[in-house]
Each structure stands twice: as C-alpha cells, then as structure tokens.
Amino acid sequence: MQLHGHGIGIGLVKRKFAPSPAIAGRGGWTAFLAILFAVLLFSFGNKSVLASGSQWTEMAPAHAPPARVGHGMAYDSQSDRVILFGGETAPGSNVLYNDTWAYDLNSNTWENRDRSPRPIARFAHAMAYDADSDRVILFGGWTGTQQSNETWAYDYNTDTWTSMAPASHPTVGVFVEMAYDAASDRMILFGGSVDRDGGRLSSETWAYDFDSNRWTRMTPAASPAAREIQGMAYDSAVDRTILFGGRDATRDFGDTWVYDYHNDMWTSRSPVSSPSGRHGAALAYDAGSDGAVLFGGVTVTGSTLDGDETWIYNVDRDAWRQAEKGSGPSERFSAGMADDTESSRIVLFGGAYGTGTWAGGGWRVSSPGTDYLPILAAIAIVAGGAAAALGLLLWRKRRQGRKPG
C-alpha cells in the first residue's frame, strides 16, 4: 500500500521512523508520530488540487440556433436572457450569419428574434452587456470581405438594434475581445486584427462609454503583446478585467494579465500553473465558481489542444485550477459563452467542431493542500495526545522496573 502523492510505502515509513526501545520513553513516540504527520502533510500539501463541484450539463433544447463558430454571446441580466448574434457556419467557410437569438436557461428555450435594421452578417466580433444602460454592445467583426469598425447596441425589451456611429473607434475590428467593467461603466476592448488572416495585430486598449457614445484609446505604461482571439472577462469581485492567451502569427500565448481601468494599468500575473498556450478559448466570470471560467481552445497549428478542459482563475490567489473532467462539452474553439447570473450557471453554445447548448458552474477553487489541513490538524491533535499518553505510560513502567524488589 502506498501513500498518495509520493509513493512512500507504509512499511518503509515504519522501518525508517519507528523509534528504538532506547528512545521510546519520554515522548519518543510523540517525535515519531510528529515525523509521520510531517510526511503526510508534505504528501497531501503538495498534491495538485482540482477545482471541484458542479459539472457540465447538455441542455438539449427542442429548438436552437444552427451550429456556428466565432459568434458573439452576452448575458442580459435585466431580461435574464443570453443574447447571441452572428457567426460563421464553419471555420473558413466565409458563410456568415446576422441572426439574433435569446436563450432562457430556466425554460431551456432559444428564441429567434430577427428584426430589421440589424448589423450585417459577420463573425469574430466582440459582444458584452452594459448593465447600467441595459444594452448589449457589439463591436467589429469580419463581414466576408473586410473588417467592420461599427458599434451597435441591442435592446432586448424592444428587440431593437441601433447603430451608434461614434465619432472615433478602435482601429482594428476582427478577432477583438471585450468585457464590461461594471464599476466604471465601460466596455474594455483589447487586441484584434484588421482581417481574418491575422494581418496587423493590435496591442491597443480601448474603453467605450455608452452614455456619451465615445470610444477612448487608453495609454497604459505596459500592455500584453499584440494578439487576437484571446479570452477576456471582468471579475466583479476584484474590479479587474482578466485576459488569457490568444495568438500572433507564429505562436500561442499562455500568459495571464489583469487590467485596472481606474489606474489604466495592465499587470502580468505569474500563476504557478495555468492552461497551456492557446487561442479561441471561451472565458467568462462566474461568481459561483470563485473566478473566471475558461473552456476549450486550439493551437496555431490548428490541432485541438486539450479543447475539452475547464479551468478557473482566481485573481486574489493568482491561481488557475483545472476542473475535474466529467461528461462535458467535446473539444472545440471559438465557442460563445456567457454567465447567467440569475441561475448561477455558465452557458456555452457552438464553437468549431463542437455542438449543443451546455450549462455548468459552481466549481470551487482551493489553494494547493488547504482542503486537507483541517483534517490533518485534527489527526495531529489526536495523535499527539495519544502519543503523549503512551510515552508517559512507558516511562512509568520503566521506572517501576528499576525499583528494588
């Protein structure tokens, strides 16, 4: 039988650490058990801890949007609906959608809400929900022949798309990513390209204010390298926008950054472990999972890379933890994902080589080894008391054995 983590046999522990009769008295057994406890603590404390809890569930609604990739998804908290727009039928097809759908997780129903006017067909655009203005904001995308730099706002209550036509806008619009900073009431946008083939990548950071209909280019002192198709999500618990991964012409990024709008500052984080470099991974913040949830992704070479993994990032601990694998979504990239806060569930739809509507959430994250500490502490107290009592008993017996008969 082996101790988990380091393969130390129980018999070996006894041979190495069992005290000799000469030291068995006066706390010798206490020292022995303390050493054994230290071995257990080291073994458990250094074991990699997975995020545990809820698993993914395939919702299988009766009616759903056609399969697609590179679509936009955002959760409208006031209407309790996930809003989907656009996408491409399959990678490289250049056959694009301009349909609008709304998903109600409670009733597990998709509703087609096509109205005119609306944005022209596109994919690789950015979408996020502005809670203060109760609008889903869309920016950019590839329209089949060129990039778009348009800004649109969608009102679910009136089923209306409005072209905002701000005076200025970000310079690139394809494979851009965006998240809504609720504390600042701003859309935060980073990176992107001028076309679908990765031409002229951007490392610019922009902020959009719906109330003034104004895009502002930010000027942080340091920024992530120019890239596209990264994951971005806003962590409301710490008021930071999280960025992970993405690609340039030759490589996939596996770095983690956080952005503070108030101080216009990007900070590179250094988690001990993290997902491998990838692009096209979906990222959304889930309070019930104690962090930003990442799913899927692909490499520059186009081969799937652990594209069925679920990871959770906690900013406070600067820690990524991989969720335990169950029967979840198949490998995919460039899927749409949004956090349904009313139901405390992440909703995922589509993606390249993946199908279906999925819901998951509630993965709890712990620092390595901390799950075991309360149990080990209790064992230490009981073992210490037992060892002390045993040591006292042996000491008394030895003293009695020395008394003259």
Are 38 and 116 within one domain?
A: no
Secondary structure letter of residue 21 according to DSSP:
G
Other C-beta atoms lying within 10 Å of the C-beta of residue 331: 18
Are 18 and 96 within one domain?
A: no
Task: List, edge to edge, every strand of the sheet that includes 256-260.
Answer: 231-235, 240-244, 256-260, 265-268
Q: Is residue 333 part of a domain?
A: no
Q: Is residue 267 part of a domain?
A: yes
Chunked into runs of 10 residues, the chain (405 residues) has average pLDDT values of: 33 37 48 50 42 81 98 98 98 97 98 92 98 98 97 97 98 97 98 93 98 98 98 97 96 97 98 95 94 92 74 97 88 96 97 95 65 47 58 62 54
pLDDT at position 114, please? Answer: 81
CA proximity to 354, closest of 282, 266, 403, 292? 282
Q: Is residue 85 part of a domain?
A: yes
Alpha carbons 151 and 127: distance in angstroms, whole number: 10
Sign, CA torsion 269/274/276/281? negative
CA proximity to 294, closest of 343, 242, 344, 250? 242
131 close to 180: Cβ distance less than 8 angstroms: yes
Query: Which residue, of 270, 288, 306, is where some domain finishes?
Result: 288
pLDDT at position 397, please? Answer: 63
> Total structural domains in the chain?
2
Q: Is residue 279 part of a domain?
A: yes
pLDDT at position 116, please? Answer: 84
Are 79 and 211 within one domain?
A: yes
Q: Domain residues for 23?
A: 10-47+371-402
226 close to 191: Cβ distance less than 8 angstroms: yes
Are 198 and 251 within one domain?
A: yes
Task: List, edge to edge, every strand of the sheet that includes 357-360.
Answer: 57-58, 357-360, 345-349, 336-340
Are 280 and 215 within one domain?
A: yes
pLDDT at position 382, please? Answer: 52
125 close to 161: Cβ distance less than 8 angstroms: no
Q: Is residue 71 part of a domain?
A: yes
Q: What six digits make up the tokens of 120?
A: 């022209």
Are 263 and 388 within one domain?
A: no
* Angle, helix 28-45 to helix 373-402, in steps of 10 degrees: 160
pTM of the model: 0.80
Are 248 and 124 within one domain?
A: yes
Q: Is residue 347 part of a domain?
A: no
Identify the burial level of 263 via C-beta atoms within 10 angstroms of its C-beta, where 0-12 means exposed, 13-18 middle and 19 or more buried.
Answer: exposed
pLDDT at position 248, please? Answer: 96
Q: Is residue 375 part of a domain?
A: yes
Are 246 and 377 within one domain?
A: no
Integer-rounded Cα Rg, in Å, for the chain is 27
Alpha carbons 191 and 15: distance in angstroms, whole number: 60
Residues in the chain: 405
Q: What six digits make up the tokens of 368?
A: 């390595």
pLDDT at position 167, please? Answer: 97
Which residues, 6+ apart, have CB-to-CB distance to 127 below 8 Å? 72, 73, 74, 83, 85, 136, 137, 138, 139, 178
For 40-66, the DSSP string reads HHHHHHTSPPPBEE---EE---SS-PP
pLDDT at position 45, please? Answer: 40
Q: What six digits make up the tokens of 383?
A: 């073992």
Alpha carbons 362 and 273: distance in angstroms, whole number: 21
Are 42 and 71 within one domain?
A: no
Q: Phi, psi (5° rounding) for residue 338? A: -150, 155
Are 235 and 276 within one domain?
A: yes
Q: How many CA atoms lie within 13 A of 200 on its CB side?
A: 8
Alpha carbons 179 and 242: distance in angstroms, whole number: 9
Are 74 and 131 within one domain?
A: yes
- Residue 100 sits in a domain whose CATH number is 2.120.10.80
Query: Which residue, of 227, 254, 288, is where some domain finishes?
Result: 288
Are 92 and 191 within one domain?
A: yes
Query: Which residue, of 288, 322, 345, is where some domain finishes?
Result: 288
Q: Is residue 357 part of a domain?
A: no
